Structure 1
């Protein structure tokens, strides 16, 4: 099987966690605290993955300048795009709505469907590209990266679906959104491999650092608020647990 197709399938697998989470969030009435705890765990997993699977590997390939430039660029690009979408109704896209912030968002932006969809893409595409790029080295996927993205996508789909349901969005809209994002995640992973296979290692390092910067900005801007609000004093401990699990998988793998 061509490596690009493998990359696409791995990206689709990690993206499918969005749909799985959406199914649970739509049909099961999970406590707000549990949703927030899953979000905190996923944040810890992603922080570990971007530290050891992205930044460390990028440093080995390109050194300080590509890594620093890419990291800051990724965070800046994500922050600018997220600011635009936040002012169009996608600020609380990862919240499940118990705090009332989703209600306020829906009242201010009743036609925010496109902003929510673009926000989900903004969050997911850097993660998917990372999966594709990970196959460039030796043709083997970064398993920890796939697991980290899968575990972080699960609470995103769960929390967002619960919030969409509270806003009055239809089931067709909800599942159509997450199915589309999962498919685009697979395509982004394939593109990540095709676009950067054979290019200079410094360029690959820069791309990895861009993704890492975007992911870290996403964690702080969208995942941490939901996690902290729902779990209060336990958010840090749960996030540390997620970090440890991903760190162990990275080293044992």
Structure 2
């Protein structure tokens, strides 16, 4: 962003702080960022970084070019409805990181005719290694799409989907997926302990291996399936582990887990939305 827009964060939880921290570390001026939260105590550290902070959401978004909605999904309707008049006056770009709530619901609660980008982030955003799936409604201009990427890329990868329903799949493949990997790490650590390693050694080897495998896959010019084949020697140790995974239908377990995740995303949208 060559000319820094004014950003307002409605909500100052972990995801908002991840984006704010990434922006500031990338050179975005703190003085151009505002944040609101119901309790002023939660904002003290942001104020110390040079942000304008307030407990008044309307004050936070006053004159803002971009408003990041970073409140819990079940709170979003109550937060947005009182802001409809200000939204009609200012017409900022709204970026929502609230899981499950559709752009149609957000637009309705804001009074209609608003430019809205929905983002499905994930928790590695906290260490600037996030993966963000984005969707823009029809009111978002090309310039605003670029602004959204500039803001959200402060936390990691940003990719667009063309249909809002695809965000349910994004939730399954990246939004919720860090927990899948953590679960797999837990299982590996526990198994290594049963084989005689200390928890510390098992943990360090597991985490470094996960990190290395991900980096190899990112840097490689072939897909993960080919990388897996290249390290699976016939009749070797790796092959025995892979054959065990396949015999126990790991692929089916993963597919069913991701389908369950996406289905819950769909049901949350119906439960919490107002389409």
Q: Establish whether TM, by shorter chain, passes 0.5.
A: no
Q: Which has the larger radius of gyration?
A: 2
How does the TM-score come out when normalised to structure 2?
0.26
How does the TM-score come out when normalised to structure 1?
0.28
More strand by percentage: 2
